[in-house]
Structure 1
Amino acid sequence: MTKNITKISLFILIGLLLFGCDATKRVPNGKSLLTKNDIHIDGKKNNIEDVSNQLYQKQNSTFLGYKLRLNIYNLAKQNTDSIFRAKFTNNPEKYNRKVKWLSKKQVKRLGESFFYSGIHDFLKSTGEAPVILDTLSPKKSLKRLKSYYFNRGYFDATANYTIDSIDTKKVKIKYDIKLGKPYILDSINPYITSPSLDSLYQLKKKYSMIKTGVKYTKSAFDEERVRITEDFRNNGAFRFQQNYINFDIDTIANKHIANIDLVINDENIRIEDSVRTVPFELYKISKVNIFTDHSPANPNAKIKDSVAYKDFTLYSTQKVKYRPKAITDGVFINKGNYYADTKNALTSKYLSNLKVFNYPLIQYIEDKNEKNGLIANIYLTPRKKHTFGFSTDFTHSNILDIGMEINTTFTVRNVFNGAETFDLGLRGNIGSSNDIANPNDVFFNVTELGVDAKLNFPRLFLPFKTDKIIPKSMIPFTTISVGYSKQTNIGLDKQNFTSSLTYNWTPKKNTTIRFDLLNIQFVKNLNSSNYFNVYESSYDALNKQAQIYNTNPEWVGGGDVTQDNLIIESGTNGFLNDVLGLNPAVIPSPSDYEIIRSINERKNRLTENNLIFASSIAYSKTSKKDLLDNEFYTLRGKIESAGNLLSIFANASQKLQSQSGANAIFGVEYSQYLKTEFEYIKHWDLSHKKVLATRAFFGIAIPYGNSNSIPFSRSYFAGGSNDIRAWQSYGLGPGSTGAVNDFNEANMKISASTEFRFNVFQQLFGAIFIDAGNIWNISDFVTNPKSVFSGLESLKDTAIGTGFGVRYDLNFFVVRLDLGFKTYNPANPENEKWFKEMRFDKSVINIGINYPF
């Protein structure tokens, strides 16, 4: 009954929005609703967003062609306070009755409540008021349109408009633009009166943004102003400004040719009430002063200590607390060099990245003792030596239903007087998960405690010099970190120790390289005996085999072999030994033997302790300019190698071999593999707040030497809110196996996604997506042909999911909800792979933060 009421209410609401609202309901008499703007360029309709943005008035927004927000606005009552007062003015007795059991103040508040007033305010703020035609706006729009095309070389463009009535109180406007022939740049003649600037221009004029033979565009001239200004200011023209650059354009109308004069006059210098002009001079740095403890609150504090180092002088109001080289390595303003804006920016970026100072202040004054000399004063405001941070987060993931994380961080800056930073963090997590065995039915069945320590050096921490390979302009830094955590999840439980030595640098803008010289991870399972409680699907499969073949009543409860289940752990281990031991007591069929052997292999792999000694290098590049940039690409690549260093030591001593014959360190067989990953993301801005986003990913990890499989922490899985959204996390693959295990993973992954994003209204966005991909096993211990990648023919097992979702932009992050449908399921029988599960009861809901890619 409740479901029926909900459906009926939904249909009524949709009906009200579609049919119950008159678009002109709030349009006053004598006025007209602007329903459409048509722009025709040389007789052809134009839909380019940049062109339509020139219009002063635009029609109400639409969603899939329907004026949703206008009709929401029209549902609201106007002047609700007056309506509420009139209700009692016409009926004083009703007001008196209200006042008897409510005070006058409460009656007044009732009129301001959500049900009387708030709901209508909400409808008006969510909706959109009707766009009433302003008869002056088309004339203003014509001027903008002509200016828009004038700036693109169409100097003779003409424009007019017509207003057509299409219904009662409804009009549309048609703009007709005739462009004519564009003007082409002919001669470009520079007139630069300052000899120093003229020499600089001649050196770089081949990089000019304006060229002979191309169509005039104002943007090219703007870019040329920027180019010239940047070139001059990066080569000593300290006083030069962009407003000194002028372009005189001489047009020949009949031939539609434009001759350009580039005019750069001398510098204007004001002396009292008079102005004189002098040629621009190029300035060099004569001295660099660094004030290491500048206080904005007390800028004139007395200097008590100074240190001269190379061509720099460091000052302090106390004793200088920093090794000079640690600071000067981040200063790219050098004595004897020409003044350059780029050096300022690079110095500010480097010193800020030290995380020891606030954003630096760099000022220049002319050196009275040296002609065309500049003294650079760099003011550094130190951050607090010690800081303490505390944060609490609530989390949700595909495995963790709900969780709470508490983090504390203690930071020490300038640890060794070389601008180093030390961070010590403690973290604690509690959570609830239905995916983890929970025999005691405890709500918070996941806990984790951890400690992490990290030491950052603002340089490459190596025993040899690297300046020629990785100069300090690439802002290199080194991180040494160690961490320990203990996880209790009423399952296998784990202890995890990590340590790493990492180098990072930025070879180019928006490009980063990370080199992990050493990355160590040791994972110890504390409760391996609980395996079959955690991985219930493996237990069910083994138990099914035991009910067929088991002959030992000790392995099952109650002694009834045909009915009772295997006892965990004595029964499960006993039955596995009866089948797979040296002297098997049970001989199943060959196919069932493979099933039992596969279960045992997976159990051994997921309960074994892991020791990983890896090195890796990762490359990342993006063209994204800022958070609002919707036209960009991102490229990431990574290569990781593990176990090679340990293999050298292990091979030198046979004592390091384990019972299985593999090499071991501290009794643990170390992992040896080669792993590589590639990811490419591309976004296209389709205008009108529409974006097409794509992603492609390929990853493969090949075990060799000491390993025949990849550690669980380094393997791949498919599904989830940031992956193939029609399947739950770990719920897809490998191959066409049908995700028979609780947590399905493999050592190779291929995936691709495409998503079309569009604005619904205000901060609410919608999306339609298609995801494709899967995971496979390759060159490891798995032999099941359904999960093994055997060549291009295995790509037929690529899963395809489609769906739609909504996103709400909160500015600082995006809340996302996606609904995924299994469009092609490779695990289904041959004739049931396509479209058989595209139903709401088979769909997967994903909740996430920010966009999936």
Structure 2
Amino acid sequence: MSFSRLHRLFTSLLIALIMLVVMACSSEKFIPEGQYLLDKVELRSDQKDVNSSLLMQYVRQKGNSRWFSLFKIPLGTYAMAGQDTTKWINRTLRRMGEEPVLYDTLQARLSCEDLAVAMQNMGYMNASVDLDRKVKGKKVTAVYRLHPGEPYIIDHFNYDIDDSIIAKVLSPHLMSDTERPRQFTVTSLDDERKRLTRILNDSGFYRFHKDFMYYTADSTQGRQHVNVTLHLMKYVENSNANPTLHPRYVINNVNFIPGDATGFHLRKGVLEDNTLIEKGKYFSATDLQKTYNNFSRLGAVRYTSINFREVPRYDSLVIGKSFAYTTSSTHYLDADIQVSNNKPNTISFQPEGTNTAGDFGAAAVLSYQNRNLFRGSEHLSLEFRAAFEAIKGLEGYKNSNYEEYSIQARLQFPRFLAPFISKNFRRRSNATSEVTVGWNLQNRPEFYRRVFSSAWRYHWTNPVHHLTYDFDLLNLSYVYMPWISETFKRDYLDNATTRNAILRYNYQDLFIMRTGFGVHYSSSSHAFRAKAELAGNLLNGLSSIFKFKENSQGKRTLFNIAYAQYAKFDFDYTQMLHFDDRNSLALHGGFGIAVPYGNSTVLPFEKRYFSGGANSVRGWSVRELGPGKFRGVDGRIDFINQTGDMKLDLNAEYRTHLFWKLDGAAFIDAGNIWTIRNYEDQPGGQFRFKDFYKQLAVAYGLGLRLNFDYFILRFDGGMKAINPAYTSTEEHYALWHPNLKRDFTFHFAVGLPF
């Protein structure tokens, strides 16, 4: 699509949006006589410490939805429909749009009651709500005025436990007056009931639930001050039974039951290692959940079902006329664990079409997976890939084809494999261990490259705290260049005009031995990633001891191959601000720095940073921005030199639901990359604290997303606003001098940018 056509398309879309906004303002034809359109809902509190936005969920009726919290486009779409519903266009517009929300006095009154109850649950026992209606024409704004009053404060928190065994079990866990909640809220009191229930469920009390506890409050001590007592009742099996001590259960037997006729595909030891339910231990709800989690991680298992049966155990003799048996106050459970097997082997074949800078080719991937290699749910995956591409435009080379063959093998163990690890630690750890080996062969007209890689890594999660960890114990990469054409050497590597340190470094044999650690935290409103990576330190230490040889560039070598030495650190943070169920704001910041040192003066190419693209500053294409104010060679994109040692990304994206599966976004991006050292082939690219903020590139734009829940197709159009690599004022401040052909970049991607 030409830029002139694209400009006309954007202009047409803008005119259509303006028309929809106007139609939304003239939707009175759908408002019956004597009724009003609910235009807006507001919550206003006379107490600053009460967050009104959190109480909006208790308002039963809200106004029509708004795109980007501003424009009632769905209502405008509905208003474009005529009254005649027999016409296809009118029915379609109504389905695409949103029917006007008519103000309902009953729903408003119930909202007042719900808001008052919600504030009482927050400890404002004397809370009240008033409703103001502001009418303008056929529209009404509903203003709920919140009067929380003073919160109730807990002076003393007491326990009344009518069960001697439970009292003894809970004794170390009961809160003192200094630990108890200060404000009288339903949430804090219910949290205490849940906490004690969790402790008891993990201490053998299989049939205990929080409804056996209730509260009483005494407010006679003074206004807004209460004494609270938590009462724990005895066990009552049914309405006709007498109260007794709560039964405490011990695991009697653990039975494994195959889920199908084929029997168990897993070794018995593997089943036992993943089961935290043990004979002779008290029943524990936490151990039950961890057992489910352990089996869910096993690729060889399709599903797991765990059932408990109460069984008699006789400890003391009782003699009757015709029988003899024993009784006991302790109760016993048999655990029946049913495990169903997954299909162990799968084979897949996937053809691909490739297009690299206009050079078309084809590729094929053959994959094999075995989910139970050693009958311990070990997951083996093998991937074979072959690719061919016909390269055009090369002169002076004997061959004009590109061939690539690769094999990747990965073996994942669903447990922590390491020496000197106890059996109990392995059972309670949810870590997985993984070993990978790969070989890649590339034959290009300019050079041949061989890459061997292998790694041993661990991965584990902490679901309670929403954390995941990755630890690369050892990661090896060996890059071997068996042949470089004389034409390529003459034109690029040995030519005094075009050669540079970064280019030459990436066409030499190289050995990388690294280790790394990463942590990821994710919740509904926050996400944080951090990763540290170190390479070459172990080899450097061995070099000092065993006196490794040096090559012609003065770099120490292992088996006549120079090894890389660097440190790399990456940080990434995202915060989500949810305004309502249709609108949110995502704020993102990313920073990375990599420092070559010791045996390296330049980072390996695959470890260098680049900027621009669908997940960075979207006014630029991938590798089009930076470092600093570097413009590339003669203003053209420079694949090698437009990389750096440091990266900064700052993004703000307002996301809104449009209709059907379509979401929209408006964004502002800022960032760039820089080099740490002053490389003569990257003028203006070095980071300097006093100048870096002047070299921040800024872009803005709009996005459209097809959200299918399990994956998202994303279309983003970005415009340059501030360009640090400029030749004129108009190019520098593109925001005030927009040029669609010069400044616009379109991106297509899968998934959200952050």
Q: TM-score range by the shorter chain?
A: 0.7 to 0.9
Q: Do the aligned partners of 1:209 and 1:221 also contact (CA within 8 Å) in 2?
A: no
Counterpart code for 1:672: A
1:850 aligned onto 2:742: no
Corresponding residue for residue 130 of structure 1: 100
Task: Tell me the equivalent position of 1:825.
Answer: 723
Identify the residue that residue 93 of structure 1 maps to in structure 2. Answer: none
What does 1:200-599 correspond to in 2, within 5 Å? Answer: 200-206=169-175, 211=180, 214-252=182-220, 255-270=223-238, 274-291=240-257, 293-295=258-260, 322-369=266-313, 371-390=330-349, 407-428=365-386, 448-462=404-418, 464-467=419-422, 471-487=426-442, 492=447, 494-506=449-461, 509=464, 510-525=466-481, 528-529=484-485, 568-569=487-488, 572=491, 576=494, 596=497, 599=499
Out of 493, 503, 526, the residue aligned to residue 632 of structure 1 is 526
In structure 2, the residue corresponding to 1:359 is in which secondary structure? Answer: strand
The C-alpha deviation readout for 1:456-499, integer Å capped at 9, x for no partner, is: 2233444x313399654222332122122344676656443322
Partner Cα distance (1:142, 1:340) in 2 = 43
2:615 equivalent to 1:722: yes
Q: What are the Cα deviations for residues 375-400 of structure 1, in whole angstroms up to 9, with x where unaligned?
A: 22222222223223455788999x79
Give, in whole Å, the separation in 2 of the partners of 1:252 and 1:850: 58
- 668, 671, 675: which is aligned to 1:776? 675
Q: d(CA) in 2 for partners of 1:8 and 1:511?
A: 46
Give the Cα separation in 2 of the matches to 1:528 and 1:225: 72
Q: State the distance in 2 between where 1:402 and 1:687 align.
A: 46
TM-score by length of 2: 0.84
**Shift of residue 19 of structure 1?**
3.8
1:731/1:744 contact within 8 Å kept: no
Q: TM-score, normalised by structure 1?
A: 0.75
Structure 2: distance between partners of 1:784 and 1:678: 23
**1:102 counterpart residue number:** none
Q: Do 1:735 and 1:797's aligned partners in 2 also have CA atoms closer than 8 Å? A: no
The alignment-based identity, stated in percent, is 22
Q: Structure 1: which 5+ residue stretches go unaligned?
A: 84-116, 299-316, 531-567, 580-595
Q: Secondary structure at the match of 2:499?
A: helix
Aligned to 1:150: 120
Q: Does structure 2 retain, via aligned residues, the 8 Å contact 1:40–1:46?
A: no
CA distance in 1, matches of 2:605, 2:16: 50
Per-residue CA distance 1:99-122 (angstroms, 9 max, x = gap): xxxxxxxxxxxxxxxxxx1x4444
Q: 1:369 is paired with a residue of what secondary structure? A: coil
Q: Show the 5 A alignment for 1:599-618.
A: 599-612=499-512, 614-618=513-517
Query: Would you say 1:141 and 2:115 are equivalent positions?
Result: no
Assess if the C-alpha contact under 8 Å between 1:717 and 1:775 holds in 2: no
On the 8 A contact 1:768/1:805 being kept in 2, the answer is: yes
Which letter does structure 2 place at the counterpart of 1:496? V
Against the structure 1 CA distance between its residues 252 and 768, is the aligned structure 2 distance closer, same or farther, given a 3 Å change threshold?
farther
400-409 or 675-684, larger mean C-alpha shift = 400-409
Matched, 1:700 2:700: no
Alpha-carbon distance, 1:659 to partner: 5.2
Q: Matches of 1:176 and 1:837 in 2, distance apart?
A: 43
Relative to structure 1, is the Cα distance of residues 9 and 180 closer, same or farther in structure 2, using a 3 angstrom cutoff? Answer: closer
The one-letter code sitting in structure 1 at the alignment partner of 2:585 is V
Matches within 5 A, 1:90-129: 117=88, 119-129=89-99
Q: Which amino acid aligns with 1:199?
A: K
**1:407 touches 1:427 (CA, 8 Å); kept in 2?**
yes
CA 1:165–1:235 in 2, change beyond 3 Å: closer, same or farther? same
Partner-residue secondary structure (3-state), 1:58: coil
Q: Could you say what secondary structure the match of 2:111 adopts? A: helix
| 743, 748, 760: which one aligns with 2:640 | 743
* Contact 2:644-2:675 at 8 Å conserved across structures: yes
Residues 765 and 47 (structure 1), Cα distance of their counterparts in 2 relative to 1, 3 Å cut: farther
Q: Unaligned stretches of 5+ in structure 2?
A: 315-329
- AA aligned to 2:346 is T
Alignment pair present for 1:193 and 2:162:
yes
Pick closer, same or farther for the CA change 1:6–1:334 going to 2, 3 Å.
closer
Do structure 1's residue 74 and structure 2's residue 79 form an aligned pair? yes
The 1:362/1:776 distance shift into structure 2, 3 A limit, reads same
Q: Deviation at 1:796?
A: 4.7
TM-fit CA distance, 1:751: 0.7
Partner of 2:326 in structure 1? none
When residues 447 and 492 of structure 1 are mapped into structure 2, their CA distance, relative to the original with a 3 A threshold, is: same
User: Distance in 2 between the 1:43 and 1:466 partners?
Assistant: 56
What residue in structure 2 maps to residue 675 of structure 1? 567
What is the Cα deviation at residue 806 of structure 1?
2.0
Deviations 1:45-78 (A, max 9, x none): 9983332332222122234533222111111234
CA contact (8 A) 2:369 2:379 kept: yes
Higher strand share: 2
**What secondary structure, in the 3-state scheme, does the structure 2 residue paired with 1:708 have?**
coil
Query: Hey, what does 1:584 align to over in structure 2?
Result: none
In the alignment, the residues of structure 1 paired with residue 749 and residue 457 of structure 2 have an alpha-carbon distance, to the nearest angstrom, of: 30
Q: Where does residue 587 of structure 1 map in the other structure?
A: none
Q: Deviations over 1:150-186 (max 9, x none)?
A: 212222223343444311x333333333333322223
1:761 paired residue number: 658
Deviations 1:124-155 (A, max 9, x none): 22211111222322222221122121212222
In structure 1, what is the Cα distance between the partners aligned to 2:504 and 2:306?
62
**DSSP 3-state at the match of 1:519:** strand
Q: How far apart are the structure 2 equivalents of 1:12 and 1:623?
A: 40
Larger mean CA deviation between 10-19 and 234-243 belongs to: 10-19
Decide whether the 8 Å contact of 2:500 with 2:681 is kept in 1.
Answer: no
Match status 1:54 vs 2:58: yes
* Equivalent in 805, 810, 816 of residue 702 of structure 2: 805
RMSD, aligned CA:
3.9
Q: C-alpha distance in 2, partners of 1:16/1:739?
A: 44
* Equivalent residue, structure 2, for 1:176: 145
> Quick one: higher RCO (CA 8 Å, sep 6+), 1 or 2?
2
Q: Aligned pair in 2 of structure 1 residues 431, 139: CA closer, same or farther (>3 Å)?
A: farther
Moved more, 279-288 or 125-134: 279-288
| 1:202-221 residue CA offsets vs partner (Å, 9 max, x unmatched) | 31122899836x22221112
Whether the aligned pair in 2 keeps the contact of 1:733 and 1:776 (CA below 8 Å) is no
**What SS class does the counterpart of residue 33 from structure 2 fall into?**
coil
Equivalent residue letter for 1:383: N
Q: Deviations over 1:639-694 (max 9, x none)?
A: 2213743884798587x655555455566x33221222131313142422323322
CA drift of 1:408 comes to: 3.9
Describe the shift of the 1:203–1:787 C-alpha distance in structure 2 as closer, same or farther (beyond 3 A).
Answer: same
Residues 511 and 52 of structure 1, relative CA distance in 2, 3 Å threshold: closer
Q: Distance in 2 between matches of 1:44 and 1:66?
A: 29
Aligned AA for 2:371?
R
Q: Is the Cα–Cα contact under 8 Å of residues 455 and 475 in structure 2 kept in the other structure? A: yes
1:793-824 deviation digits (Å, cap 9, x = unpaired): 45356422231332423212233333334444
What is the alpha-carbon distance in structure 1 between the residues aligned to residue 605 and residue 572 of structure 2? 25
Between 447-456 and 5-14, report the one with greater CA deviation. 5-14
Mean Cα deviation higher: 828-837 or 800-809: 828-837
State the aligned residue count: 718
**Partner deviation per Cα, 1:404-437 (whole Å, 9 max, x = no partner):** 875443222332333322222234567899xx96
| Bigger proportion of residues as helix | 1
Question: Which secondary structure state, in structure 2, belongs to the residue aligned with residue 230 of structure 1?
Answer: helix
Pairing partner for 1:28 from 8, 29, 32: 32
Answer yes or no: is the 8 Å Cα contact 2:45–2:52 preserved in 1: no
